[in-house]
Each structure stands twice: as structure tokens, then as C-alpha cells.
Amino acid sequence: MTKQKKIISVLTAAALLCTGIGTAGISQPLTASAADSIESSMDWDTLNIAGGGFVSGIITGDDQMYARTDVGGAYRYDYEQKKWVQLLDFLNEADRGFLSVDAMCVDPNDDDTLYLLCGCAYFSDARTAIFRSRDAGETFEEIDVTDLIQVHGNGYGRQCGEAIAVDPDNPDIIYCGGDATAGTSGLIMSEDGGDTWKAVDGYGKLDLFEYEINWPTWTEHKVKTTAEKYDGGANGVSTITITDGKVFVGTSIKGKANLHVAEVGSDDFKPLSEELPTEQMPSRINLDPDGNLLITYINGLMFDSGTGYAYKYNPKTDELKDITPTTTSNGTAKKLNVGYGGVFSDRHDSNKLVATTCAQWYSQSWTADAWDRDAIAWGDRFFKSEDGGETWTEMTPGNSTSWGGPLEANYLEDGGHSWIRDKAIHWSGSIAIDPRNSDQFWVVSGNGVFTCEDTWAECPTIRFAADGIEEVVSLDFISRPGKDPVSVIGDYDGFYHNADGTATQLSPSMNKLTTTTASTGGIAYCPANPDVMVRLSEGSAMGYYTTDGTTWQELPNVPLSGAKAAINQLEDGTYRILVSSSGKISYTDDYGKTWSTASTSDSLSSTIWMCVDEKNPQYVYAYGYYYNQYYFYSKPKADITDARYILMVSDDYGKTFKNNQTVCQYDQCDGAYRIAYLDEGTFAIAAGYYGAYLVTDYGKTITKMDNVSYCKTMGYGAAAKDGDPYTLYMYGKPADSDPEGIYRSTDCGKSWVLINQNHLYGGTGNGNYLVGDMNTFGTVYMSTVGCGIVVGKVNGSEDPKPVTTDTTQTTKTTTTTTVSTAASTKDSAASTTIATTIVTTLPQTTDSTGVSTTASGKNTATVPAGATLYGDTNLDGRVDITDAVLLNKAAAGAVSLAAQAAKNADCNANGEVGSDDAVSLLKFLVQIIKNLPEVAE
């Protein structure tokens, strides 16, 4: 079933950030039906690694179980397949911030009604939204609440929870808490099942959100929160529970009461108990079947291993009881007052409890010889009670009940994923007993999820159980002819992706060289011999190479850190390894014993992407960009024309680069500088909002693809049939009116077919790659911001054949500036036209902006017809980088602007449109100036 999303907006103009990018309410679905899209011929999933990132929470209903992550979306557990299923794969790049799920809850009366509170301070304009599903996550509605609260699901305290709850007595009533508020309260509520929301002013009057900060820090958008920095403890509301007609709200503050209670619907909030600590913070509240609150406290919001507690509170009798787990030393039981992530009860038996510490550093073992191997995993501790918390039994894997005694719990098991071995269960902010199996508990970790199916046994076994959860951030990827593909990732080196669907971690680990991190940023293979590979550390000048595809050796003396790579075979059969970073290229012909700097006639600001010509390897192509101070730095005097994409060519195996050409202006598009090889002397390159270009004749001729309006990245893979050029893959849009997605071309970019707009997983993320499989036509791999490695494959239906569109291409021996757009080759019904109310924070001219206030407390700013919205060159009601691109083209005389567009483009209000206006607009977009028009004083 194709997942769909619709938006219900409760957004006000005041809540939007000073980026000039607006958000609007949309009532229709944002996806096209399968009949309208070539996507119906494709299957999309993720490569199997399992885990690899922080699973920040687990919740259960009567029959369902859900998990959330900090950057990788939300999941439902599929009991039949015994794996987790991603629920937010429909999010596109603009909405990738919603992959940071800050909190979640289910309707206590209906497991299929799910609410997700999502937002990220540094993505998607820092918007915050609640996603509501009535069918267990198959489809969602989006309710924007940015004007009321904001959350950072990848921030401090993200393991706390859950900061959203449904009233079991009236499921139309929902309470939700934010990390920050631009309104009057960090707590909001809905009385209509989430359609509309309002501030809970009684909570706001407690003055717990006492700090005013910029959110995010690089904007002037002011919010109130609970700490002086959003990345230093601004966790706001940490946990909410509703029961017995009362709402309980925990707040991440110290030094005063931080757990309050009020009657549902009341504004009269009071501290729950004077006996509760104020120098620790509430981390989580769960309910037992008797209606008691199980409350846990932590000392800090990240890896602070200080003091904490666990309590049981009876809301009917107001009785509070300390149930902090105990340990036994010398025969004496003693309270273990450390931070706790949660205490959870069997839903059928309130006497049976499980508990986890949070952010402790205690020994866990995978094997009996772990101490001898110096392989102890340092993480959290786990406990169980069968008398409601009166007494506890520890069950931390690999530890003995006493010196030389039996194990508390067996050694950890990897669940079929060998890469996790010797890694700890850590940062465990949530633990839960399976709703379908009282013998089984689940606990979250910074690297995935673990489970135990024999909890009440004398010596239980805990194993890794993150199947289906894919949260690695892949930074580079290769598919080799006749070989299995290989990835490199942040934190955990990378993997061989085996033909049987398993993954084998690269070894030795990069942290053997760096001693700090295994993050690996670059990988390459030699086209003449795919067994020859090199992989490079993301943050250090270190790496490994292999000549047989499996045995890796240190590549010494790497001159550049954070590099990308290429490998060439020289005429004498030896290999040249090239690395690039920060505008430089170096190479070694003796596996790192000596290094030389390649000669280039141009200075670049970016890492340079390199590609060896497979059929004529003396040619090496290099592509990157240079930018001036308006793209953050370089020249002391601003010259907007020199921010550019640059192509360089070597005809001596990468020793000397020449024939340098300026492709087009650089537009701040993230890393749009990959090279898609097609055939001898022929390749394609991405240029962000300037589209894409076809390069022929070994780099001498550059042709603008008029049928590409936006291209974030370009990749290539196996041809449709033997003898044809390689297949092209593009993330972007053929025409401005086309949906954002992945497109495929089998004719060197003359025509495109849409193969994915409904399973974008937030776009191409940090790695920004599309890599076509070199062995199977139609298979393509995509990086993500935190959802693992996406793979698309042609399904059993007949592969659709591209329909050639008529395009006009202007060819020169230097870059063209052709800007006409041709239609993409897809059914036009798959494109959704959205007519919305414009929402903006930009200053308006004397043509006043209408502002209306509705009964629900929503403010909507509209731009009346004929009003001037400075900077909105493309007349879409918002101001962003796409306007800057169009304005630059207009200033260069490449396009003509309509009358209203010309008024909007006059960013310095002098009655003319020129390069000065383009400079003013860019200064506005990067926060050098705060308002448009820029008027000289």
C-alpha cells in the first residue's frame, strides 16, 4: 500500500524562522497513485544491516508495539515477519527533519491510532508537526504546531518520554509538550483528536521555560525553553501521562518542582509531591495495570551517570513509594541510586516489573573471555522484580551473581548480525514488556534494539533484535562489476552487502587507526580490477587499501583528511590511488609510502569528486565547486560570479589536471558534484538548482540538459542492454512542476522516467549519492540522512520503456546558459498542483499583509494579489535559494521576468533589476541582512 500524507495546518506567521521559507496547509494527499507513476514497476526497501543508530523510545498498546529514532523515523513491529517496519519512508527532502521523532503515543482505546511528535532544529526550517495515523502507520495526516511548540528530536534528552499522551477516558483529548515555545506555554492540548491545538496557559504560568534563546541559534527566531542553549539541555517537557482524570507532566529542569499534575482540562497545575527530587529530572512515566505511575529520574540529559531514582505513585491514594532497584554487596541490599530510563510493568500483572538504567557505564560481556580480550562492552544495567518493586534481581549480560558464582544473565547474542558483537546496550532510555508475550522485554540502545524472551528465567538471554530498523548514515557506496556492493558509513566503518542479503562489516576497523571513531567517509575501486579498493576515514587523514577485495592494509601517510578517492591502473600494471579534500588532489603510486600533489590550475573550496574513465583510464575527471564569501567564505571582496562549479580533466592518469571549465554558478546545493560515467569520454554532472549537464569529448564539450530543472545528485549503473551507455539516475526534478524524486534515463539524459516519489526516506542525506548497480539493470542505491541505505529494484512487472521527449539542447565548447525546460516522461496525473495560503515571515511593502485570527488561535499571514514580496522572484509565495537562482539568471539576461516577479526581484528598491539585487537577496538568505529590501542609508 502506498503511504499518503495530508497536512492540517495550525501554523502562524510568527512561528516561521527568518529564512523566508514559508509553510502552508494542504488538505489533499501529497502522493500520486501507483497507476500514475512509473514507481509501480519498482520495489523500494533498505539494505539489511540492522540498527546502527539511536532508537530513542518504545511504546506498546494492547496488541501493537512502536519504536522511534532520533534521525531515522518511526517503526511498527511486524509480529509475522519478526521485524520492524519503517513508517515515515514517504517523507521527502524538504520534510527530512520529521525523521527526528521526539515523542509518540497510541490511543489507549485503539492501538491503530498513533501520534508522532516530530521536528529537528537544523532541518526543515525547524518546523514541528504531529503526525496522526488511524491505521497503525499505513497513512498519516500532518498537523503543524510550530507556532505553539517546537521540538528537536535529535537533541539533549531525546531518550526521555513520552511527551504526548491521549486521555483514555476521552480520546479526543490529547496533551503534548515541546522542547521550546514561541507562544505562551510549552504544553498544548487538543480537544478534537488532534485537528486543532491550543496552549495550556496554566502550565505556562509555572514559568518553567524561563530562558529566551534563538531557535535555531543561527536565526533571530525567539523561543522560551528550559536551558540557555537548545543543544545544551533544552528538553522542555520530558514526559506526559493521563490517567484517572488527571494529567501528569514532567519537565527537564532542576532546582524546583519538575513533575506537576492537574485535572484534565484544568489550568490549575500543582507539584505532584514534595517528596520527589528536584535535583534530578523526570525521565519517563509508565502505568501499571492497577493505574499506578512508575516514575524514573535521571541526573543529566545525555551521558551523565549521576544520581537517579524510581518511584511508584498511586493517584487514587496519593501514596508515593521509592522502588529504586537494589544491588547486593557482602550480603546487604543497597539502593542503586543512578539514572533510570524506565520501569515497565507486565500489562497483566503489576507485580512483574523490568527496569533499565540510563547512560551508565557498567560491564556487559559477549563471551566468557571478554575481559581477557579487552572486549568488555560498557553500558547500562537491567533489573526485574516479581513483587512490584519491593525486591529486584539484576540481569546484566555476562555478569555473575557473586564472585565466581553463576551468571545473572547469559552472554549477549547478536541475533544474526555479527557487526554488533562487543558493542554495548547503552543510552537505554526506554524499556517495555511485549504486549503479546509477558516473558519478553525490549530495550532501546544507541545502536538499535535488544530483546529478551525468557525474562523470568533464572539466567535470561538478551539478544540484538533490530531487524528492519536501518539507521546508519552511509557516506559513500560502490557497486563493482561482478562483485557485491560495499558501503562506508558514519560510526561503524561500512559493510560488504552480500548476495544472500546479509552484511559483513569491513575489518579492520577505522578506529584501529584513529583510536576515536570508525566513521568512514570515502570508498573507491579500480575499474580495471574491482578487487583493488581504498577506504578513507571521515575525520582523519587515514585509510586502508586492499588488492584482493578482502584483506585490508593500512594506507600510510594520507595527506588529506575527510577525503574522497579514485583508483587508476597505470600502463605498467601498478595502481595509482588518488585522494581529494578541501580543493586539493594528492596521489600515491606505492600504496602510501610516498605521496605527490596533483597539479591543478584552479582552486576549489569543496572536496573534489573524481572519476576514472573506464575505457580510457589515462583520463581522470574531477568536479567540485568554489564559492566566495556570500557562500560563506573565500574572497575578501564579494564577487558573486566566481561562486561556481568547476570541471577539471587529466589525461595523464591523474597527475596533472587541466582543461578546466566553469560549468555554472554554485548555488549552495549540498554536495551536488558527483560524476555519472556513461561511456568513453562521456559523463553527466549535477548542478543543483542549475540542473544537470552532459559532458562529452573527454570534458571539452559541456551541454546543458534543458529537461532538468533541479539535480541534487547524479549516479549511474548497468545499461538496459549490452552495448548501451550506462543508465543514469537523478535525484531532483526534470521540470519545476514535476514532483521531487528519483528519475531514470537510459538515453544519456535525453528523456527521464520517474521511478520514486513515495519512498524517499527524507532524501539523499549526508552521503548525497545515487549509485546504480553495475550488475543488474534498474537496481539503484540511495544514501539517507538516517534511514540506512535505500535500494530500488525493478519488480516482476514488465519494465516500462522511457518515452522520448522533445528537448532543445544548446552545445558549446564551454558552458551554456540555456534555461528552457522540457517536460518529463511521466503521466502528468502524477504531478500534484498545490494551491495554498501563503505563509511568510518576510517584511512586506506598503501593500499590507492581511492577518486573521481564528477561534482556534491560529494566525495566518496572506499576501494579497498585487502585493510585493521582496525576493519572491518565482512567485511561489516564499523566498529561498530557488529565487536567488532565477534572479541571477534574470540579472544575466538569460530569462525575462513577469511584471510582478520583477517588482519582487527589486531587492534594493531602486526601480531596476540587476546584479545588485541578486547580491542583496543572497545576503538576506545567509542572514547577513535581516530585511528586504536592502536600502542604502
**Domain range annotation of the chain:** 47-65+280-471, 870-937
Q: At what angle do helices 881-891 and 915-925 cross, to 10 degrees?
A: 170
pLDDT tens column, 461-486: 999 999 999 999 999 999 999 999 99
**d(C-alpha 504, C-alpha 544), whole Å:** 17
Report whether 358 contacts 345 (CB < 8 A): no
Helices (H), 151-277: 201-204
Sign of torsion, CA 786 788 792 796? negative
Closest of 760, 748, 752, 758 to residue 733, by C-alpha? 752
Closest of 812, 806, 569 to residue 696, by C-alpha? 812
Those residues with Cβ within 8 angstroms of residue 624's Cβ, 6 or more apart along the chain or in another chain: 580, 583, 604, 605, 606, 607, 608, 609, 645, 646, 673
pLDDT tens column, 5-37: 544 433 322 232 233 322 222 222 223 222 235
| CATH number belonging to the domain at 870-937, selected among 3.30.70.600, 1.10.260.40, 3.40.50.2300, 1.10.1330.10 | 1.10.1330.10
Report whether 486 contacts 434 (CB < 8 A): no
DSSP character at residue 193: T
Other C-beta atoms within 10 Å of 531: how many? 15
What SS3 class is residue 48? coil
**d(C-alpha 892, C-alpha 886), whole Å:** 10
Closest of 480, 441, 503, 380 to residue 789, by C-alpha? 503
* pLDDT score at 866: 57
**d(C-alpha 398, C-alpha 121), whole Å:** 39
Report whether 68 contacts 45 (CB < 8 A): no
Q: H/E element holding 884?
A: helix 881-891
Closest of 220, 191, 766, 745 to residue 471, by C-alpha? 766
* pLDDT score at 636: 53
Sign of torsion, CA 651 653 658 661? positive
User: In this structure, what is the dihedral angle of CA atoms 198, 203, 208, 210, given to the nearest 10 degrees?
Assistant: 50
Report whether 653 contacts 566 (CB < 8 A): no
Report whether 712 contacts 731 (CB < 8 A): yes
**d(C-alpha 537, C-alpha 519), whole Å:** 6
Closest of 524, 628, 631, 635 to residue 585, by C-alpha? 524
**d(C-alpha 191, C-alpha 176), whole Å:** 12
pTM of the model: 0.84
**Paired strand residues for 546:** 533
**Residue 162 preceded by cis peptide, ω within 30:** yes
Other C-beta atoms within 10 Å of 817: how many? 15
Residues of the chain with pLDDT under 70: 1-37, 601, 628-642, 670, 796-866, 876, 892, 894, 926-928, 936-937
What SS3 class is residue 166? strand
| Residue tagged 605527490 (cell numbers) | 596
* pLDDT score at 935: 75
**d(C-alpha 117, C-alpha 132), whole Å:** 9
**d(C-alpha 926, C-alpha 632), whole Å:** 8
Q: Are strands 83-86 and 293-298 parallel, antiparallel or unpaired?
A: unpaired
What SS3 class is residue 114? strand
| Order of all β-strands in the sheet with 780-782 | 42-46, 790-794, 780-782, 770-772
- Cell numbers placing 700: 571539452
User: In this structure, what is the dihedral angle of CA atoms 705, 708, 713, 717, given to the nearest 10 degrees?
Assistant: -70
* pLDDT score at 622: 96
47-65+280-471 maps to CATH 2.130.10.10:
yes
| Residue tagged 498513533 (cell numbers) | 114
